[in-house]
């Protein structure tokens, strides 16, 4: 053990040097670190201390080739990594995989990717028909955009302020259909749709786009895990992704930009290719405490589970296409409660699992007409027969969610999310609290409580949720914006319309929050039974015009817009310095019942 420790100490000193780039040094560092941690755990120790320093590590030397390190089936163990930096030299692959671990702590580590996972440049030419843009790659950033290993797909490019490293207000996501190399560091991006005839995108604008997406720190079937004081830079993102297991994991970490690359002048515009954090289907939701996330090319904090698709029912049995095996997602155990949603995405019943068997002989179905594109385009259908404690007349196209593996009982406290392409939070879980967070300067909305039942089939609806004492400012800076584009959304949208009552959201409280400089609808509500909006401040709302309300059928100029909801209570909210585009404080259509719809908001 002492020999391994001394070897690592020597490596820390030598590998910090820029000249130490031989492949054998990379392999030695990765293998030695893995061996050091494994030996400490297997010897019965409760912790290991990695000597301070910078270590070049590689997924090519890792156990599974997808991550540099794999720590499996550990319990009650701490990896101390204060003043330690792992420099991941393998592009497009992750750094650490925790598999089936319980009560393991990672403390103090910095993860840095040697080559930025994203790239950036400057628009030099916009075609006359506005169907393509020419881009010059910035010095020091990846120019191998036609290498599928590192840029498997470039869905969008985003526009940034010319002299600031922030997203440009009013500039849309620019969706890409294909790209064409014009020179060693120049490309033509052919666009899926013509750019709008406006000055929101101009020659000379800076643009950036993500590369291949991979989970950087991955947790699978874990419980009571802790990441404390960890920093992740230039990530292929998801920066931290947890999937399945008992959950109750605790996170205190930072996602930020990496250092300026060698030979570069510009600082990075993107910190990670995807979400800063993503939680999927744990039996107890996460705690995120005082995290700081900036610069992501997607959402900040999604918390959700996954829907299964019903093919039909047979008495007390329902046939479900789960896309992944139940054992892999730790869902649909005997005794679990299952919620069912009909083809309109309305709550249609619930039952308890009494048996589960693979339905190998169940006919493969033509699902091309199913709205949920994730199911309609899946390469392989995985059907299971779920026997329930009571009959549920589930029909083809209904959705099912395991309520006991739905990421409920979560806490997001004191987190900061800023300057990101996606939404600050996308939360599809219940019995949770979002408090004392700051969310600012986002291309899309601040907080979206909204199941995604089309592309991603992410659920479920929220229930018994508290959103309090947060600051949400300068969100939805894109025009037009997509669903979930309000500063705060509690809604459900399917088949081109908001889901009708009884919907699925239950008992949501929005209180004590400050909304600043949000030019879209500040709060949008649909498909909810029981929602309280009280004691919130709206500062300079709707100062700038936008076209997004028409896109979402919302009334232009509304501060709060509500449809398909009952049990609404609005009280003691104030507006300070109302913007010129503000027309009504509360716009609730004829489907809404409750109190404070006319006097729950006042100007100050």
d(CA 345, CA 552): 18
- The answer to whether 202 touches 174, Cβ cutoff 8 Å, is no
d(CA 205, CA 86): 34
Ranges 326-330, 352-356, 530-534: which has the least confidence: 326-330
Q: Residue 20 pLDDT more than 50?
A: no
Beta-bridge mates of residue 67: 94
pLDDT given for residue 21 in this prediction: 40
pLDDT given for residue 152 in this prediction: 85
Q: Residue 15 pLDDT more than 50?
A: no
Q: Quick one: pLDDT band at residue 12, thresholds 50, 70, 90? A: very low
The reported pTM is 0.91
pLDDT given for residue 14 in this prediction: 39
Q: Which two tokens stand for residue 334?
A: 């005997």
**DSSP 3-state assignment of 124?**
strand
- 484-493 average pLDDT score: 88
- The answer to whether 570 touches 560, Cβ cutoff 8 Å, is yes
Q: What is the DSSP string of 303-359?
A: EEEE-EEEEEEETTEEEEE-SS-HHHHT-S-TT-EEEEE-TT--EEEEEEEEEEEE-
CA-wise closest residue to 353 among 326, 382, 380, 371: 326
- The answer to whether 423 touches 434, Cβ cutoff 8 Å, is no
pLDDT digits (tens, 9 = 90+) for 164-215: 788 888 788 889 999 999 999 999 999 998 888 777 888 989 999 999 999 9
One-letter-per-residue 3-state SS of 354-421:
EEEEECCCCCCCCCCCCCCHHHHCCCCCCEEEEEECCCCCCCCCCEEEECCCCCCCCEEECCEEEEEC
- 105-132 average pLDDT score: 95
pLDDT digits (tens, 9 = 90+) for 60-104: 988 889 999 999 999 999 999 999 999 999 999 999 999 999 999
Q: Quick one: pLDDT band at residue 237, thresholds 50, 70, 90? A: confident
Mean pLDDT, the chain, integer: 89
Q: Residue 119 pLDDT more than 70?
A: yes
pLDDT digits (tens, 9 = 90+) for 343-391: 888 888 899 999 999 888 887 777 776 777 778 777 788 889 999 999 9
pLDDT digits (tens, 9 = 90+) for 292-327: 999 999 999 999 999 998 888 887 899 998 887 787
- The answer to whether 490 touches 513, Cβ cutoff 8 Å, is no
CA-wise closest residue to 308 among 223, 391, 407, 394: 394
Q: Quick one: pLDDT band at residue 274, thresholds 50, 70, 90? A: very high
**DSSP 3-state assignment of 28?**
helix
pLDDT digits (tens, 9 = 90+) for 252-265: 999 999 999 999 99
């Amino acid at each position: 053990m002492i020999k391994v420790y001394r070897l690592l100490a020597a490596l820390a000193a030598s590998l910090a040097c820029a000249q130490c780039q031989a492949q054998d040094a990379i392999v030695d560092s990765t293998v030695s670190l893995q061996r050091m941690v494994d030996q400490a755990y297997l010897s019965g120790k409760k912790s290991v201390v990695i000597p301070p320093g910078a270590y070049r590590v590689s997924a090519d030397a890792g156990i599974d080739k997808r991550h540099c390190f794999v720590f499996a089936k550990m319990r009650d163990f701490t990896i101390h990594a204060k003043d330690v930096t792992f420099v991941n030299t393998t592009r497009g692959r992750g750094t650490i995989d925790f598999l089936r671990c319980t009560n393991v702590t990672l403390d103090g580590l910095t993860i840095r990717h040697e080559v930025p996972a994203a790239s950036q440049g400057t628009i030099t030419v916009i075609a006359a028909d506005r169907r393509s843009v020419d881009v010059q790659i910035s010095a020091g950033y990846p120019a191998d955009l036609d290498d599928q290993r590192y840029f498997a797909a470039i869905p969008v490019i985003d526009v940034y302020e010319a002299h600031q490293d922030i997203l440009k207000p009013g500039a849309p996501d620019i969706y890409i259909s294909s790209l064409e190399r014009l020179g060693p560091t120049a490309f033509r991006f052919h666009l899926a749709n013509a750019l709008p005839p406006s000055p929101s995108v101009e020659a000379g604008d800076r643009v950036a786009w993500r590369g291949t997406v991979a989970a950087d720190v991955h947790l699978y079937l874990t419980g009571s895990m802790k990441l404390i004081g960890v920093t992740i830079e230039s990530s292929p993102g998801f920066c931290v992704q947890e999937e399945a297991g008992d959950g109750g994991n605790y996170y205190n970490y930072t996602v930020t930009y990496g250092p300026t690359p060698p030979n570069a002048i510009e600082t990075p515009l993107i910190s990670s290719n995807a979400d800063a954090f993503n939680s999927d289907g744990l039996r107890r939701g996460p705690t995120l405490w005082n995290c700081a996330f900036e610069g992501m090319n997607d959402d900040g904090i999604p918390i959700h589970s996954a829907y299964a698709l019903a093919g039909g029912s047979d008495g007390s049995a329902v046939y479900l296409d789960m896309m992944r095996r139940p054992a892999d997602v730790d869902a649909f155990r005997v005794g679990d409660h299952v919620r069912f949603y009909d083809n309109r995405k309305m709550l249609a019943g619930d039952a308890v699992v009494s048996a589960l068997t693979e339905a190998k002989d169940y006919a493969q179905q033509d699902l091309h007409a199913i709205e949920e594109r994730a199911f309609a385009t899946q390469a392989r259908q995985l059907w299971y027969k779920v026997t329930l404690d009571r009959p549920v007349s589930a029909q083809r196209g209904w959705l099912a969610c395991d309520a006991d593996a739905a990421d409920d009982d979560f806490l997001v406290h004191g987190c900061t999310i800023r300057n990101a392409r996606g939404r600050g939070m996308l939360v599809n879980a219940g019995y949770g609290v979002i408090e004392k967070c700051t969310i600012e300067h986002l291309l899309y909305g601040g907080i979206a409580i909204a199941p995604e039942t089309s592309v991603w089939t992410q659920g479920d609806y929220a229930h018994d949720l508290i959103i309090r004492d947060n600051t949400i400012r300068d969100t939805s800076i894109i025009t037009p914006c997509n669903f979930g584009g309000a500063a705060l959304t509690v809604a459900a949208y399917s088949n081109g319309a908001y889901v009708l009552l009884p919907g699925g959201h239950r008992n949501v409280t929005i209180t004590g929050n400050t909304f600043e400089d949000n030019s879209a609808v500040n709060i949008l509500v649909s498909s909810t039974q029981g929602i309280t909006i009280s004691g919130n401040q709206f500062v300079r709302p709707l100062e700038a015009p936008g076209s997004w309300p028409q896109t979402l059928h919302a009334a232009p100029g509304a501060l709060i817009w509500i449809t398909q909801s009952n049990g609404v209570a609005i009280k003691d909210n104030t507006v300070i310095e109302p913007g010129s585009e503000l027309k009504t404080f509360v716009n609730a259509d004829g489907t809404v019942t409750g109190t404070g719809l006319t006097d729950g908001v006042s100007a100050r």
